[in-house]
Amino acid sequence: MTDGTSDTFAWRPDSARIADSTLAPFLATHGLADVDALVERADADPAWFWQAVIDHAGLRFATPYHTLLDDADGPAAARWCQGGTTNLVLNGLDRHRGTPVMAREAVCWEGEDGQVRRWTYADLDREVCRLAGGLRALGLGPGDPVGLFMPMLPETVAGFLAVAKIGGIVLPLFSGFGADALVDRLSDGDAKAVLAADGTLRRGKRVDMKAVLDQALARLPGVAHVVVFDRLGLDVPMVPGRDHRWGDLTAGQPDHCDTLMMPADDPFMVIFTSGTTGRAKGTVHTHCGFATKLAADLGLCLDFRPTDRILWMSDIGWLVGPMQIVTATLHGAAMVLAEGTPDYPQPGRFWRLIQDYQVTYLGVAPTIARAMMRLGDDIVAAHDLSSLRVVISSGELWTPDAWWWFFRTVCKETVPILNVSGGTEIGWGILTNTVVQPHKPGGFSTALPAMGVDVTDTQGHTVPQGTMGELVLRQPSIGLSRGLWRAPERFHETYWSKIPGLWVHGDWASRDGDGTWFLHGRSDDTIMVAGKRCGPSEVESLLVGTGLVAEAAATAITDPVKGEAVLCVCVPGPGVAADGDTAQRLSAAVVAALGPAFRPKDVVFVDDLPKTRSMKVMRRVVRAVYEGKDPGDLASLVNPPALEDLRAAVRR
């Protein structure tokens, strides 16, 4: 994602890549000339498209559904695969039994301490079955919510699938949460049990996860069971009757157990997305919806294949974690998981992981790309990245300099960057690039099919090319959240009420004359100065483009004369002084591009910007701290020291 609307294509597919793509046979089968024709037909007839995806991906239903899409009660209440039964695990693991896939590697994990573990699909299936048997022995079953408070381990994958296998509802939780955040989510989710690790390593430090969980559970008497995996072998207190050792629970359980078939549109996961001033929102995903959406987005449009090895350093609490598990197992591909951070214990760890584990399908947040760029080109050049076939990016807006650096230095101008924008509520993507269309830096070559994606004014009318408007969906999607957990009114108010009949996603977007889509930041982050509007990333791109700063956050602050003014919070580049002269030069760059009205009211220098676990800059927190207001929900803040740094900088 980016705010830079370049007129030139930076990457073009050759005829061989187009012919070899996963999209090519699908288009040919349905007599479609190109992706534009696919989107046009799918938007006009969503039921046709989703049925075609189900057939193409070979998704299985124990009982066939009689109605694919029932939207008689309106798009916000659409129901899918009515009358059918299935289970996510039926399509992710069970389908591979008796095939050569079972001998393939499913999970390859590296700990921050250098420990390496590898599981085949047969290993994964066995561990899922044993854990599922253990959970059933505890009395857990259909409809029971189970928290998953673990770093990305092989057992995290097994836990995720085991809960789904028994018909439970998995509640993925960020491994860095504090006790208050756990209390909010486990209580909102009505958790009956929690799967947890004793601890994990992050930048050489031990994180005592069980201790944090115990603090939370002191306020959650409804959690009847905790299953503890010994990642670090810590001597953690175990509450008799409530706490169980993972190995003890699974010992003696059979290597095979049946998967419970569930009504196809029943929930299998409630995953929370950060709140702003209120509580986090629990988005509801179903057995048929999540699998079908990922089969369409990743398996069809983003060229994911059974031969791929996917690495995206993430967390189970961000949608990317569940996406990797479901996409990889659906296709019989391999997941490469890594504990800790990309640049520890060595600055080049990220590149070494790609090299050592022959990663073909790499996920990256633009913020991580900017951090890696600061470490220099030599570290990249010291590693063999020739295994890379596709890079997929999401989570934050690209700045042009970071996009070009990554494309030239990492991708060697041959590996495509498939930029994706979507969200936890969407079940994956809204806009994307494909391997059969040319790309502009940071743009999106197409909307994803069968969603009626559009850019509109506040009345829901399509805006002209080159005009910024609200990103909306005109059609319900099979992947959309089925509501907000225990908050149906909030779901309608948040997404469906701003422009009646349309899903308003909260992003500013535009399209250019070539059909490329661009995003311009969150619509609730818009900077409005004396009646003139711009997106924060527009200002941030200008600041980073000076070469004086490594990262920047721009936001609106209250101004008694203009209504709002621009605040710039910047991380200085190497060797750049955080002084008045640098601030003046940055301010001048904004004025030169956007005019005097957008002259920053203040330029503040910090060592780091507050970010979420998905590496999005928390602009609303920046504004709140600067104005001395309550910053709201901070549960997703991944770097708390940045908040104190910002407060100190504001006081100076």
**Chain segment 13-57, per-residue pLDDT in tens:** 999 999 999 999 999 999 999 999 999 999 999 999 999 999 999
Strands 193-197 vs 145-149: parallel, antiparallel or unpaired: parallel
- Is residue 430 within 8 A of residue 421, CB to CB? The reply is yes
**C-alpha dist (Å) from residue 301 to 10, 327, 447:** 20, 13, 10
pLDDT at res. 279:
65
User: Which strands form 390-393's sheet, in the order they lie side by side?
Assistant: 116-120, 105-110, 334-338, 309-311, 361-364, 390-393, 417-423, 428-432, 446-447
- The CA–CA distances, whole Å, from 327 to 21, 291, 301, 302 equal 17, 8, 13, 11
Q: Which of 634, 614, 9 is nearest to 315 (CA)?
A: 614
Compute the residue count for the chain: 652
Summarised one tens digit per residue, pLDDT across range 405-463 is 999 999 999 999 999 999 899 999 999 999 999 999 999 999 999 999 999 998 999 99
pLDDT value, residue 3: 45
Tell me what pLDDT residue 559 has: 80
Beta carbons of 610 and 646 less than 8 angstroms apart: yes
pLDDT at 6 (0 to 100)? 54
Contact 303, 352 (CB under 8 A): no
- Tell me whether strands 527-529 and 532-534 are parallel, antiparallel or unpaired: antiparallel
pLDDT score of 74: 92
The set of residues, in sequence order, having a beta carbon less than 8 Å from that of 262 and lying 6+ positions away, is 85, 86, 87, 142, 167, 268, 287
- Domains plus CATH for the chain? 122-263 (3.40.50.980), 526-651 (3.30.300.30)
- Which parts of the chain register pLDDT below 70? 1-7, 274-279, 524, 530-533, 614
What's the confidence (pLDDT) of residue 531?
Answer: 59
| Collapsed DSSP state (helix, strand, coil) of residue 616 | coil
- What is the signed CA dihedral for 497, 501, 506, 509, rounded to 10 degrees? -150
Contact 185, 217 (CB under 8 A): no
CA distances (Å), 9 to each of 365, 418, 438, 444, 467, in order?
21, 14, 6, 11, 20
